[in-house]
Structure 1
């Protein structure tokens, strides 16, 4: 093998490795961007009254593009799984941990709408809409009755 052939092979091998590394980096960047353009992921809820972390909610997407959210960790001080004693549907007296509290959310422009959210503290189910802020690191969740003006919003923080 000539010196020229060895040099060409070395350059080709190095180029292939660089292209492969660039592909891996691009795939990682696309995954991060995709994660920040959707509410799919884990979110820390914040207590309206104390401003302290309250629970972790895992939002997932089903095959039809609808989002739902389940409580995966309660951050209650006593560490005991609270039950939804105020619920009036099939969730009555069931543990809040593992409970689906968001359902039926559909993409609508820059946000998600047409779903429902349960407030386990009072057992009420509200219409729900949500949108992302702060480059996908915050999720503004609004529960309301009738029209969105008659409701309240919470800002949840994305967990990595």
Structure 2
């Protein structure tokens, strides 16, 4: 294992810290799914093909826009929300969407909530359940930003 601040092998960037203040370094975009943004350790790949090894403290989740650096602060990796296969749910009324959110939450389904629509990871069983409730369900590919839940403890200024 490489020492903190060193590469594991040629080309691998070891990120160990999340920055709060903006810095002026060239940025490497790191697209991560919603699930990947909850895991603070492991190997990932930037959108330009550079390998990154996450060795971050295990508190909080990563959010799009978070800046990660190596121990020497010589390389800036910026988290992006990667496109994912999702279901887009639209209702005939606000109440129908609220009821859908209730039933999905009761199943501990991660949801992204909007005034006129809900998004959740593509699941044919859930799509069928929602359609039988009279909701319009379509598939799409887009970044997913589910609600953090009642016990989420990360915020940005």
TM-score (norm 1): 0.24
Higher helix share: 1
Q: Which of the pair has the greater relative contact order for Cα pairs under 8 Å at 6+ separation?
A: 2
Larger-gyration structure (1/2): 1
Higher strand share: 1
